[in-house]
């Protein structure tokens, strides 16, 4: 098969969905996309593993990244794709082959772009972060990603989502002393001691903050609690795992300091964390994007790969035709009108004035 990038972007979406590319097995689709991009003039192609980076060199004032991952979650008896009226069903229709199709179609049809473009089509987004193709390229070849602005075509249902919140997990442990429960006063109950940790969580007032016109809402929550030795033993240990979702005006270090302050006096271990990303919408290239698109702007509360661009100092947003609420579901679909609308909106932005 040959991918027809310049044709109907809905048909291109269906073709990409029908070409299975579960994380770790996206190589054949990557080969296919690489071959299709080779037919375009203006683009210089490089590849790292199953990630493609294609760049124009037109000496424009600004350079913009358009990025999408090529992999999907495992197929759930939902490939090949199936069209019902305006809806296209299938694995990856929303997350995010419709976004990839928009990106590839624009690369093939915007002949005189206003900005130099860097296309990134990457592998292993749907699995552990250590395998992420965008992360690998940003470590191995940060120069390939150098740009003034980045658009990640993740599903946002046609809105612009600026930045993303950070996430941090910590395990807080209470310690006690074992004793037979018939003589409990000889022991110290570590589960009872965890009550004060839950009290602090219940009394915690999560901050809301506006940054570049986006409202971020933080949250501090217990996501696990475990304690107990046996039915007749006063437990000597209880572990509470909390997850802090923090607005991108805090660094990872500041988020950790905040959590340590909330649980001051407790044995606390950070188990994992990832930084947020400032929306950066006040940067000229980003402000220009928002103006040209004339789409609603909101904060991204979950964590996404835009944080990887933020780490490189590049303002980045999510903007894509898929519906984030349908991602990873067997009944996943995309409204094909959103694909057409995304192409039109991005074309306004990319077309030279």
Whose tokens are 């990025």? That residue is 67
> Is-catalytic flag, 125?
yes
Question: Nearest approach, Cβ of 237 to its own copies (angstroms)?
Answer: 11
> Is-catalytic flag, 116?
no
Interacting residues with its own copies between 19 and 78 (CB under 8 A):
none
Angle between helices 98-109 and 336-350 (to 10 degrees): 40
Binding of residue 189 to its own copies (CB under 8 A): yes
Binding of residue 224 to its own copies (CB under 8 A): yes
Binding of residue 273 to its own copies (CB under 8 A): no
The full DSSP string for 55-72 is EE----S-EEEEEEE--B
Nearby residues of 209 by Cβ (< 8 Å), 6 or more positions away: 215, 216, 218, 247, 249
Candidates 11, 58, 233, 270; binder of its own copies (CB under 8 A) is 233
Candidates 94, 138, 165, 336; binder of its own copies (CB under 8 A) is 165
Cα separation, 249 vs 272, whole angstroms: 19
Binding of residue 13 to its own copies (CB under 8 A): no
Question: Nearest approach, Cβ of 26 to its own copies (angstroms)?
Answer: 24
- Residue 174 near residue 120 (C-beta atoms within 8 A): no
Binding of residue 180 to its own copies (CB under 8 A): yes
- Residue 115 near residue 64 (C-beta atoms within 8 A): yes
- Which entry of 26, 32, 71, 305 is annotated as an active-site residue? 71
- Which entry of 26, 32, 125, 154 is annotated as an active-site residue? 125
Cα separation, 210 vs 353, whole angstroms: 32
| 168 or 343: CB nearest its own copies | 168
Buried b (16+ CB within 10 A) or exposed e, 261-281: ebbeebebeeeebbbbbbbbb
Positions touching its own copies (CB under 8 A) are: 165, 167, 169, 180-185, 189, 191-192, 194-195, 198-199, 201-202, 217, 219, 221-235, 238, 240-241, 243, 245, 272, 301-303
Residues classed as catalytic: 71, 125
């Amino acid at each position: 098969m040959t991918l027809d990038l310049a044709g109907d972007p809905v048909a291109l979406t269906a073709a990409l969905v029908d070409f299975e590319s579960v994380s770790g097995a996206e190589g054949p689709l990557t080969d296919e996309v690489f071959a299709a991009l080779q037919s375009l003039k203006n683009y210089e192609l490089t590849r790292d593993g199953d990630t493609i980076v294609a760049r124009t060199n037109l000496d424009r004032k600004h350079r913009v990244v358009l990025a999408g991952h090529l992999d999907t979650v495992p197929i759930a008896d939902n490939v090949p794709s199936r069209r019902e009226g305006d809806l296209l069903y299938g694995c990856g229709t929303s997350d995010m082959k419709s976004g990839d199709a928009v990106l590839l179609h624009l690369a093939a049809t915007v002949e005189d772009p206003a900005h130099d473009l860097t296309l990134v089509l990457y592998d292993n987004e749907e699995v552990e972060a250590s395998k992420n193709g965008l992360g690998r390229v940003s470590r191995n070849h940060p120069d390939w990603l150098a740009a003034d602005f980045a658009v990640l075509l993740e599903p946002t249902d046609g809105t612009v989502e600026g930045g993303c919140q950070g996430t941090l997990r910590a395990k807080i442990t209470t310690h006690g002393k074992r004793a037979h429960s018939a003589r409990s006063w000889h022991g110290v109950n570590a589960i009872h001691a965890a009550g004060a940790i839950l009290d602090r969580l219940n009394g915690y007032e999560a901050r809301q903050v506006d940054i570049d016109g986006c409202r971020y809402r933080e949250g501090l929550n217990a996501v696990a609690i475990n304690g107990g030795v046996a039915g007749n033993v006063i437990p000597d240990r209880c572990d509470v795992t909390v997850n802090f979702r923090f607005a991108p005006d805090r660094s990872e270090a500041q988020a950790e300091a905040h959590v340590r302050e909330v649980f001051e006096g407790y044995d606390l271990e950070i188990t994992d964390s990832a930084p947020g990303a400032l929306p950066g919408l006040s940067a000229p290239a980003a402000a220009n994007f928002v103006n040209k698109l004339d789409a609603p702007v909101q904060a991204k509360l979950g964590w996404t790969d835009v944080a990887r661009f933020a780490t490189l100092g590049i303002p980045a947003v999510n903007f894509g035709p898929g519906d984030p609420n349908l991602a990873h579901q067997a009944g996943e679909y995309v409204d094909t009108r959103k694909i057409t609308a995304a192409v039109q909106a991005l074309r306004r932005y990319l077309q030279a004035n």
